[in-house]
Structure 1
């Protein structure tokens, strides 16, 4: 079972030009003066027809939906409609640079009527969280770190767990397709270099240099910010669609999948679903309803994320029958696992104000003590935050305090986890975020992993490399064995004094300070709601392709694998389409 991820975050003093320090692009070249490649395909949903037919309808223009739609609209594919409830990234200039990361999350608006690219919500556990509401999904608002899944992720997550029959040659080719366009090699210096040294000092070895692979030791991962500091997102992959085949409608909120009964004569066996998808209903910003319908042999693919995809299945009458009936939703298929098996990766951390200025950087360096995903991951980043909300009254809160402050946070993440939650509809209103409870640390194994992870945080803080960040105003005295190191200026919760020996006190710290790293997943898990080809088992012509199908998060960050998945499934679907044509031509 995966253990814990440690994340080191630094928050710099200056809010001036925040161009990322990347060089030597690993991927595509960005022309700041040119319109984005996806622009030719994008229109506002209010400009689309009241009813149209497509070969493929992709719901959700995020990390999976964009590469999936581009692939299905490419060679061998068909006519594709991609529906995204948010706007386009170009509408939000703050998304374009690394400096907009914290601002975007801080301004996340929970209102369904807002056009903010990040939508805030809180789980029933009381933990604040965010979901993307923009073309490109999470790849348009995240910290840009890119790393592939740990190899064991493709082969199962425990006894009896079902996983797709991954074609690893196609998996690697799909990763490479994404990487050629979106990923870059960062230049590591300043704070990132200090973190790298601290990881190696903490014996997270060997040193692996730059790699996108999940390997044991300390490495530099790829970034989706290019040499000029501009973000690349999954939306950029839409440029690979063939002109005339793809339509992208933004500000298009899908209200339900249209599910119809299947003629018993066409079921070809008792195990075949009795219902099938024939299209979707979506609503534009003017509240006008539109119908997108499937051509014969077409499919609807939900790529709306771990909240949106199970929500849409439920709104469409696919889910636990008793729950649907209680909301007045007509039951199309009794599917008790829809919305179940939800997971979020808990993180915990220690925040400090460094004693020296540090450069601005997002996640670049990662430490992986175990390549199979069974030990702590360590990452580093830097952001800007206002001083006032961060500090308690004390010596650092004064009228002369700067508006912004340098802050560093060292965090650990439990990547599994075993603790399992669920999602449900609070109402049949498709504009409302569904209710979700993750049940953090409900399994003792997760709490034990957090204890190990928090101790790793403490060990990194105690490294000699971190001494430069200790406060010159902190305590310093002469002990029996020489000078005593100064203290860190702590913001918020502090580690218990007996952190190295008292499991109970560290476990209490874990429970008191738990928060999210926005890598939640599940709700439409493989083997429960979808099969190994991501087809919904209870309805024909309907798939789910996104992180809602995961029961375990794939490595240090899921975005690489979710984008790969969109490309991979698209290629497999085109292969299936070609095979059906050959069979039909032969039989005729």
Structure 2
């Protein structure tokens, strides 16, 4: 049995950061185990081709359970199954969320995770082409840029939003998130800057770092309060690696809780029902699953919407449907193509306003389908369970319509296709939201951080009941920040590495 000081499970966004930080100490040996292949698919590096990656071999291809409050639909949940994880297949929008998000984490008992505490970490890993305004870094490994050669439709949409009174925002990761402006992108010189490109690739030059791909981790082996080994399957052969120091779970909001449950760490009754020996009763594992729900409002265009030079959604906006100046309730993406939910028909030429509800109250769960590691788990985000989520997206449709028909959009907006010009009353709009709601690809929360007894990890991300195991990915997020979740995930992993290195000393 081989021994490593650190074993990192998952080479996604968090795992790439963790591998880079821990292997920087040449005295330590680091192993990274990744279920997917290396990131050589040419579509990954091309920002315009990210839309081709969902449903491809580099996607886990998850489906939710039938959604009780969303017309009984099973909704696709793309997640990266490749080196770089979802940072290798996402739309490359780099948002941190607002200060209130992290101050709220601290208020929930996550001491040390307020905005003032996490901002230095966001800056540390970033190389932003807009310079350092006090909110950005310019010397980090991850290159972030504002869009270049923007599409004329995006220009028109920007003018339309400003004409409606929405404030201009030149930096969504700066002083405020409210307003309309250009999305910061993990794109540099026309190529995707995934976590694999920024963090893992350079680190793999070190002799003390080992990456194994195409392996399925099946169980954490424990003895009393320590994780002593990790079992996995490689090329059909079961193997075990011994953990001398710490094991770090970086497999994401789906695979991390799944592995914990397979290892007997989770709600006792659920584990016993599947015949899994209980290692540690942890009722929070798999609970608190939530996501930013989104809904598309699609229009045909008066002129051809030709492909742009960026990643199809270069313009963004944060707004409130009630006009208040508080934390934004809605994040908009202006998609330079007709984007519709499964089962709905897109026009051949058009564009879509795709708002997400940034303050979802609905909470779901992740559970095991069986005790077989190769089976996908039961994913139930409970979309639209709460009236506030349903009403929020309904209100976002009305705001989208106003935006699309503003004077500056006159040369572009032709006809509304979805929901359709005849759908205006509250009930029919709600019915459309149920038929069209989908993911903004931001699942979080299934291994919640906190100081209460039901939290899965403590404020230094240690797995409760174990001295040498941490979770360092989006699963630890107690409440989803507004905006996109890749940037917070990188921050979480960076801070977790700080904790590990400090404890080692």
TM range (shorter): 0.7 to 0.9
1:138 maps to what in 2?
86
Matched, 1:118 2:79: no
- Given that 1:350 and 1:495 are in contact with CA atoms closer than 8 Å, whether structure 2 keeps it comes out as no
Structure number with bigger Rg: 1
Q: Could you tell me which residue of structure 2 aligns to residue 381 of structure 1?
A: 335
Partner of 2:49: 100
Note if contact 1:318-1:333 (Cα within 8 Å) is conserved in structure 2: yes
- Matched with 1:83 is 33
The answer on 1:348 being equivalent to 2:295 is yes
The two structures have a TM-score, normalised by structure 2, of 0.86
Distance 2:446 2:345 in 1: 37
Cα 1:165/1:157, change in 2 over 3 Å: closer
Partner of residue 288 from structure 1, selected from 223, 237, 254: 237
Query: Please, which runs of 5 or more residues in structure 2 have no aligned partner?
Result: 68-73, 128-141
Which residue does 2:212 correspond to in 1?
249
Which residue does 2:70 correspond to in 1? Answer: none
Higher-RCO chain (CA-CA 8 Å, sequence separation at least 6): 1
Separation (CA, whole Å) in 2 of partners of 1:319 and 1:57: 21
State the shift of 1:71 in Å.
Answer: 0.5
Offset of residue 276 of structure 1: 2.1
Contact 1:84/1:252 (8 A) holds in 2:
yes
Number of the residue aligned with 1:198: 160
TM (norm. structure 1) is 0.75
Residue 495 of structure 1: how far off its partner (Å): 5.6
SS state at 2:170 partner: strand
1:172 alignment partner, one of 119, 126, 130: 119
DSSP-derived class of the 2:384 partner? coil
The corresponding residue for 2:139 is: none
- 1:313-355 C-alpha deviation (Å, 9 max, x unpaired): 0000001111111111111011111111111221111122212
Partners of 1:385 and 1:444 lie apart in 2 by 25
- Taking a change above 3 Å as real, the CA distance of residues 220 and 76 of structure 1, as seen in their structure-2 partners, is farther
CA distance in 2, matches of 1:104, 1:199: 31
Matches within 5 A, 1:497-516: 497-498=423-424, 502-516=425-439
Q: In structure 2, how many angstroms separate the alpha carbons of the residues matched to 1:77 and 1:410? A: 51
Choose 298-307 or 372-381, whichever is displaced more.
372-381
Partner residue of 1:162?
Answer: 109
Query: Does the CA-based 8 Å contact 2:335-2:354 persist in structure 1?
Result: no
| Residue number in structure 1 paired with 2:459 | 532
State the shift of 1:122 in Å. Answer: 1.4
User: Is residue 276 of structure 1 aligned with residue 234 of structure 2?
Assistant: no
CA distance in 2, matches of 1:408, 1:561: 29
The aligned counterpart of 1:233 is 194
2:247 aligned partner: 300
> CA-to-partner distance for each residue in 1:143-197, whole Å, 9 max, x for gaps?
1111222111111259x72325137566334323432233122223422212211
Q: Secondary structure at the match of 1:254?
A: strand
Shift of 1:123: 0.7
Q: Give secondary structure in 2 for the equivalent of 1:223.
A: coil
Q: Does 1:216 align with 2:178?
A: yes
* 1:86 CA drift (Å): 0.3
Residue number among 98, 108, 131 corresponding to 1:150 in the alignment: 98
Q: Is the 8 A contact 1:164 1:533 kept in 2?
A: no
Task: Answer whether contact 1:204 1:368 (CA < 8 A) is retained.
Answer: no
The secondary structure found in structure 1 opposite 2:493 is helix
Report Cα offsets for 1:103-156 as digits up to 9, x if no partner: 111x34xxxxxxx10121211122122121001111100111112221111112
Cα 1:151–1:372 change in 2 (3 A) is farther
CA distance in 2, matches of 1:75, 1:519: 32
Q: Secondary structure at the match of 2:360?
A: coil
Q: 2:367 aligns with which of 424, 427, 436?
A: 424
| CA distance in 2: counterparts of 1:193 and 1:77, whole angstroms | 52
Q: Secondary structure of 1:328's partner?
A: coil
1:254 CA displacement: 0.5
Q: CA RMSD in A?
A: 2.5
Residues matched between the structures, number: 468
CA 1:249–1:412: 2 relative to 1, 3 Å = same
In the aligned structure 2, how far is the partner of 1:535 from the partner of 1:77?
A: 23
CA distance in 2, matches of 1:120, 1:372: 36
8 Å contact from structure 2 (residues 61, 78) kept in 1:
yes
In structure 1, what is the Cα distance between the partners aligned to 2:105 and 2:430? 25
User: Do structure 1's residue 569 and structure 2's residue 492 form an aligned pair?
Assistant: no
Partner residue of 2:14 out of 64, 80, 102: 64
Are the aligned partners of 1:212 and 1:221 in contact in 2 as well (CA < 8 Å)?
no
Q: Which runs of 5+ in 1 are unaligned?
A: 1-50, 109-115, 262-274, 397-404, 472-487, 579-588
**Following the alignment from structure 1 to structure 2, what is the Cα–Cα distance between the partners of residues 293 and 495?**
62
Question: Structure 1 residue 554 and structure 2 residue 481: aligned?
Answer: yes
Alignment partner of 1:467 out of 402, 410, 414:
410
Q: Deviations over 1:427-475 (max 9, x none)?
A: 111122101111111112222222222221121122112221233xxxx
